[in-house]
Copies of this chain bind each other. A is one copy, B any other.
Amino acid sequence: MATIYDVSVMAGVSLATVSRVMNDNTKVSDKTKQKVLDAMAALGYRPNTIAQSLASNRSNSVGVLVSQLDGPFYGPMMTEIEMALRSANKHVIIAAGHSDEKQEKDGVEFLMSRGCDALILDVEAVSDEYLIELSKATTPIVFINRYIDAIKDRCVYLENEQGGFIATEHILSLGHKQLAYISGPLFKLDVRDRLKGHKRALQQYNIPFDEALCYEGDFRESGGSTAMEHLLSLNKPITAVVCANDQMASGAIAVCLEHGLRVPEDISFIGYDNIPFPQYISPKLSTVSNPIHEMGKMAARWVLQQVYNDQEVLIERTFQPELFIRTSTAPID
């Protein structure tokens, strides 16, 4: 592999000059520049990024820590992050936290010791205090899907309370009065916010919140099924169920269909996240959008701007959920 030295010899210039044309941050005369370029081409020269990093104290890599790499949720986010960063010739190093405090901390440690120039974190298990502490370190960090007041300018997040509100409000506006709620794991902030929005909508319509009809699920399809079986076993009248995410809604709907209930004629369902799959099954799931890919893109842009001094990019930090009405919700008869 040719080195910068080989190039300098061939072009008849110094190492520094070669370095300059590579980074084109200093003026180099056109003729010498051309000589260097020719030599590089002739040698098939490719800079050694490791050496560049060591010398410049910059790795050109950004670490991304997500809860999980699978599922319908993080893929789109990673896609946007990778695209935004790669086009700036930065690379992304990934790690998974699995919603576990120790693994999340390990992941952060791992990425930091890898000399990342910046970190994009989507973490759920670690405390606000830990993150506030982290954000004081020299490595710039941006948080996706989390709002912490003390460091809010580093948070890219969705207005989950509002999302919870509009989902339930849609159901209520259809005339439903007997609602069940399938929640996600309550240790997650976004889950609590969605529930909060649900309750606010209920209140606004003067409908009492029935604790017995609120089930804490696990955000997975199977959890939605379990939840629905439980709710059905209660033998209470339910005309609509609000789910904290689409996956659980899908699992719950499947159970209802198996029990011979018609959706939405007998019972309406609304989800949350607007993931692709439930748009294509029957009935098509009404839901609330969660523009996770947009949030990923914004986080990447934040890094580009803060760390790599890209002034071009526009940054949006808060996102509004939107209602998507499909065929799983219907007016009460």
Interface residues of A (CB under 8 A from B): 46-51, 53-54, 59, 61, 68-72, 74-76, 78-79, 82-83, 86, 91-96, 110, 112-115, 221-222, 224-225, 247, 250-251, 253-254, 257-258, 276-277, 279-282, 284
Distance of A209 from chain B, by nearest CB (Å): 27
Contact B115 A61 (CB under 8 A): no
Given contacts A48-B115, A76-B70, A280-B221, contact A110 B96 (CB under 8 A): no
Partner of A279, one of B51, B95, B221, B258: B221
Question: Using Cβ atoms and an 8 Å threshold, which residues of chain B touch A95?
Answer: 82, 86, 91
CA distance A221 to B275 in the complex (A): 12
Q: How many copies does the complex hold?
A: 2
A232 CB, nearest partner CB in chain B, Å: 15
Whether the Cβ atoms of A250 and B281 lie closer than 8 Å is yes
CB contact between A221 and one of B54, B69, B225, B276 (< 8 Å): that residue: B276
Closest 4 interchain pairs by CB? A70-B75, A221-B280, A257-B282, A69-B78
Given contacts A92-B93, A257-B282, A280-B254, contact A69 B54 (CB under 8 A): no
Please name all residues of chain B whose beta carbon is closer than 8 Å to the beta carbon of A69 when the two chains form the complex: 75-76, 78-79, 82
Q: B75 touching A71 by the CB < 8 A rule?
A: yes
B residues in contact with A92, CB < 8 Å: 93-94
Point out the residue from B51, B54, B277 that lies within 8 Å of A250, measured CB to CB.
B277
Interface of A is mostly: helix
A70 engages B59 (CB within 8 Å): no
Residue of B nearest to A280 (CB): B221
Contact of A110 with B94 at beta-carbon distance under 8 Å, contacts A280-B250, A282-B254 already known: no
Please report the C-alpha to C-alpha distance between residue A113 and residue B253 in the assembled complex, in whole angstroms.
49
User: Complex formed: what's the CA distance from A74 to B75 in Å?
Assistant: 8
Known: A69-B75, A277-B277. A46 touches B91 (CB 8 A): no
Q: In chain B, what residue has the closest Cβ to A63?
A: B91
- Cross-chain contact B46 with A113 (CB below 8 angstroms): yes
- A282 CB contacts on chain B under 8 angstroms: 253-254, 257-258
Q: Which residues from B are CB-within-8-Å of A279?
A: 221
A78 close to B59 (CB less than 8 A):
no
Contacts of A75 in B (CB 8 A): 68-71, 74-75
Residues in B whose Cβ lies below 8 Å from that of A96 = 79, 82-83
A222 to B279, CA, bound (A): 9
Hey, which chain B residues are within 8 Å of A51, CB to CB?
54
Q: Which of B46, B61, B74, B280 contacts A225 (CB 8 A)?
A: B280
Q: Can you spell out 23 A-B residue pairs with CB atoms less than 8 angstroms apart?
A: A47-B113, A48-B115, A49-B113, A49-B114, A51-B54, A69-B76, A69-B82, A70-B78, A71-B75, A75-B75, A82-B94, A83-B96, A91-B95, A92-B93, A92-B94, A94-B94, A221-B279, A221-B280, A222-B280, A224-B280, A253-B281, A254-B280, A258-B282
- Is A277 touching B50 in the complex (CB atoms < 8 A)? no
